[in-house]
């Protein structure tokens, strides 16, 4: 597989040292609030990559950290009058609930910062032994950037003439800060702290990832992932402190996912265009449509998230699910009826779709081209089915391609209503049910089994020519956002 390597500034072959096992690390959430769609775009593309690598025969060992102590967490926990562990537990749980809702497979290893304090202390001690880490007057420890000549090699920034001893100790770093950064922060009144060989205090942000990545993946590993906002200073600092401590390369390959815009603007609370997954679910959008949209634009391209595109994503998934169900249900003949002429070479179309899908993902994870290959196949196969020129052997091959596609894109399973119900339950507990769309609440007031029963009753009413009752059922369901579709393949229903 070819994947852009930020470190080399070019597309390179992703070649794990211990093939077929690939060891990868991704900077996970800082659990001070609910995750927003920009965060989840990164985790979704990492999920797509991991799923595809497995399809290609690799074993993936994926480690993700959870930052459960930093300046924001301490500040927010204090404002809420809670201990850090109590404050972060809520948001850590919410993060993984959202991960599950979006179909993101969980890592093999989740590493919490507060569980790895001894590893961080040990790493800082190694740096101190080389005089690369030094203790300030207040008891905090800092990394001496001037002692790492390659500083800036990831972000390709020029830091010549860095002044030794000029320090910055906050976690919300200036994006152009090139000053010695905090490894360990001395105790402050009211802050959670640990008694260690370094003194009383807590870890800085950057040391957390270096310690956890090397603890679970070794001093050198294959791939480090994260959002582009972390490239500098966080990832630059990870490299500096890790490689200074070990004398070995830290991560051989770096993957960075680009920001997204919302309706053409940078997402921010002040702009009024800041959305968490839960915000969108309460507006009535489906988790599967959100997943499909966020991964449809390749990871190195800036994405413009719009509500029109989210509606289009919903329709695209509906088309894929309808097609998949059509292929499953059939019935399809073993041989075509006499007189039926195959216009398109379906075997070639299906094989080409599979080849184009695989080639697109192998070429720097081009999800847009991979998706297009599948929709081209869907169009041709649907036309063949409509014309009566589709046979069982073709369908078997089509279903294999759809299984391959869904192994990465993961949108064919329809559990959207279940996910949205969970979001409504959460909103009720949080006193936010008023933010939910009234139509959504009505839509989910009926279970799938109850809808099936009403649809069956409508079908029976039509058979007995009780059209008034049949129309009443249709209209009642429509008012709740449930559409009934009468087709030659039978009666189907779906939620808007």
Q: In the structure encoding, which two tokens stand for residue 288, read together?
A: 């599967």
Rounded-to-integer distance, Cα 92 and Cα 35, Å = 10
Rounded-to-integer distance, Cα 176 and Cα 100, Å = 36
Tell me the H-state helices in 330-437. 346-362, 367-386, 392-409, 416-429
pLDDT at 169: 63
Q: Work out the angle between the directed axes of helices 448-463 and 467-479 (0-180°, nearest 10).
A: 150
Rounded-to-integer distance, Cα 41 and Cα 38, Å = 5
Q: In the structure encoding, which two tokens stand for residue 414, read together?
A: 């329809």
Long-range contacts of the stretch 466-469 (C-beta < 8 A, 24+): none
Q: Which residues pair with 13 in a beta bridge?
A: 2
**Positions of the chain with pLDDT lower than 70, given as ranges:** 161-178, 341-344, 489
Rounded-to-integer distance, Cα 443 and Cα 160, Å = 61
Rounded-to-integer distance, Cα 379 and Cα 382, Å = 5
**What phi and psi values does residue 57 have, to the nearest 5 degrees?**
95, 5
Rounded-to-integer distance, Cα 190 and Cα 255, Å = 38
Asked if residue 320 lies in contact with residue 414, where contact means CB atoms within 8 angstroms, the answer is no
DSSP helix/strand/coil, 84: helix
Asked if residue 237 lies in contact with residue 250, where contact means CB atoms within 8 angstroms, the answer is no
Tell me the H-state helices in 283-366. 287-296, 307-329, 346-362
| C-alpha torsion angle, residues 304, 54, 30, 262 (rounded to 10) | 10
Per domain, the residue ranges of the chain are: 2-257, 277-409, 416-495
Please report, for residues 23, 116, 130, 410, the alpha-carbon distance to residue 403 in angstroms, rounded to integers and kept in the order given.
26, 39, 53, 9
Q: In the structure encoding, which two tokens stand for residue 167, read together?
A: 């320090």
Neighbours of 400 (CB within 10 A): 12
Asked if residue 351 lies in contact with residue 401, where contact means CB atoms within 8 angstroms, the answer is no
Q: Which residues pair with 201 in a beta bridge?
A: 186, 194
Asked if residue 346 lies in contact with residue 401, where contact means CB atoms within 8 angstroms, the answer is no
Residues contacting residue 19 through CB under 8 Å, at least 6 positions apart: 58
CATH of segment(s) 277-409: 1.10.730.10
- Could you name the CATH architecture of 2-257? 3-Layer(aba) Sandwich (3.40)
Asked if residue 288 lies in contact with residue 313, where contact means CB atoms within 8 angstroms, the answer is no
CA 287, chain centre distance (Å): 12
Question: DSSP secondary-structure letter at 231?
Answer: I
Rounded-to-integer distance, Cα 208 and Cα 226, Å = 15
Q: Which residues pair with 289 in a beta bridge?
A: none
pTM: 0.91
Rounded-to-integer distance, Cα 2 and Cα 364, Å = 5
Asked if residue 388 lies in contact with residue 337, where contact means CB atoms within 8 angstroms, the answer is yes
Buried b (16+ CB within 10 A) or exposed e, 424-448: bebbeeeeeeeebeeebbebbebee
Question: DSSP secondary-structure letter at 167?
Answer: E
pLDDT at 367: 98
Rounded-to-integer distance, Cα 446 and Cα 494, Å = 12
Tokens 């590893």, located at residue: 119
Q: In the structure encoding, which two tokens stand for residue 34, read together?
A: 């609910």
| C-alpha torsion angle, residues 371, 372, 375, 381 (rounded to 10) | -120
Rounded-to-integer distance, Cα 273 and Cα 137, Å = 44
Q: Give the containing element (helix H, strand E) for 455.
A: helix 448-463
Q: In the structure encoding, which two tokens stand for residue 100, read together?
A: 């599950």
| C-alpha torsion angle, residues 170, 176, 179, 180 (rounded to 10) | 60
């Amino acid at each position: 597989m070819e994947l852009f390597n930020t470190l080399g500034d070019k597309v390179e072959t992703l070649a794990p040292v211990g093939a077929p096992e690939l060891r990868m690390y991704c900077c996970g959430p800082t659990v001070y609030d609910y995750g927003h769609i920009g965060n989840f775009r990164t985790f979704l593309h990492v999920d797509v990559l991991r799923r595809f690598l497995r399809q290609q025969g690799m074993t993936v060992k994926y480690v993700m950290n959870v930052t459960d102590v930093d300046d924001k967490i301490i500040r927010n926990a204090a404002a809420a009058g809670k201990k850090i562990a109590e404050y972060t537990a809520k948001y850590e749980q919410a993060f993984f609930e959202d991960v599950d809702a979006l179909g993101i497979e969980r890592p093999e290893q989740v590493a919490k910062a507060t569980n790895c304090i001894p590893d961080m202390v040990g790493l800082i001690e190694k740096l101190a032994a080389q005089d690369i880490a030094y203790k300030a007057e207040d008891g905090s420890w800092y990394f001496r950037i001037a002692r790492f000549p390659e500083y800036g090699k990831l972000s390709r920034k020029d830091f010549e003439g860095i002044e030794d001893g000029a320090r910055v100790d906050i976690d919300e770093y200036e994006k152009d800060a090139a000053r010695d950064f905090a490894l360990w922060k001395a105790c402050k009144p009211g802050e959670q702290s640990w008694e260690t060989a370094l003194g009383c205090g807590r870890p800085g942000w950057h040391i957390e990832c270096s310690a956890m990545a090397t603890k679970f993946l070794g001093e050198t590993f294959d791939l480090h992932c994260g959002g582009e906002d972390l490239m500098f200073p966080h990832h630059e600092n990870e490299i500096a402190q890790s490689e200074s401590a070990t004398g070995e390369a830290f991560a051989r390959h770096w993957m960075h996912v680009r920001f997204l815009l919302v309706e053409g603007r940078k997402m921010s609370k002040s702009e009024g265009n800041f959305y968490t997954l839960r915000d969108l679910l309460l507006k009535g959008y489906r988790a599967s449509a959100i997943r499909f949209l966020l991964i449809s634009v390749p990871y190195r391209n800036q994405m413009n998230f719009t509500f029109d595109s989210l509606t289009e994503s919903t329709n695209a998934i509906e088309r894929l699910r309808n097609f998949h169900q059509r292929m499953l249900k059939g019935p399809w003949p073993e041989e075509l009826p006499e007189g039926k002429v195959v216009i398109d070479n379906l075997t070639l179309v299906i094989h080409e779709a599979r080849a184009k899908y695989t080639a697109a993902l192998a070429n720097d994870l081009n999800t847009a081209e991979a998706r297009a290959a599948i929709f081209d196949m869907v169009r041709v196969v649907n036309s063949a089915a409509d014309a009566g020129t589709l046979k069982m052997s073709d369908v078997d091959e089509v279903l294999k391609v759809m299984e391959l596609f869904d192994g990465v894109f993961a949108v064919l399973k329809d559990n959207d209503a279940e996910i949205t119900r969970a979001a409504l339950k959460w909103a009720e507990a949080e006193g936010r049910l008023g933010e939910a769309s009234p139509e959504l609440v009505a839509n989910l007031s009926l279970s799938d089994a109850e809808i099936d029963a009403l649809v069956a009753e409508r079908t029976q009413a039509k058979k007995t020519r009780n059209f008034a009752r049949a129309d009443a059922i249709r209209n009642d369901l429509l008012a709740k956002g449930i559409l009934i579709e009468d087709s030659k393949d039978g009666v189907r229903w779906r939620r808007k």
